[in-house]
Amino acid sequence: MAGRMDGLRARLGDAEVAAKVSRWALEWNSRNQLDGDRRFFMWNGDCPHLFRTREDARQFVAEKYSYIAKRPDLKAEPHGWRTPRVVKVRVELREKRNA
Segment 40-64, tens digit of pLDDT: 999 988 889 999 999 999 999 999 9
- CB-neighbour burial class of residue 74 (10 A; exposed 0-12, middle 13-18, buried 19+): middle
* Chain segment 60-80, per-residue pLDDT in tens: 999 999 999 999 999 888 889
Element (H, E) at 17: none
Could you tell me where the beta strands, DSSP code E, fall in the chain?
Answer: 18-32, 36-41, 43-44, 47-48, 50-51, 81-94
Contact 56, 24 (CB under 8 A): yes
Q: Is the distance from CB of 86 to CB of 57 less than 8 angstroms? A: yes
Could you tell me the pLDDT band of residue 9, with boundaries at 50, 70 and 90? low
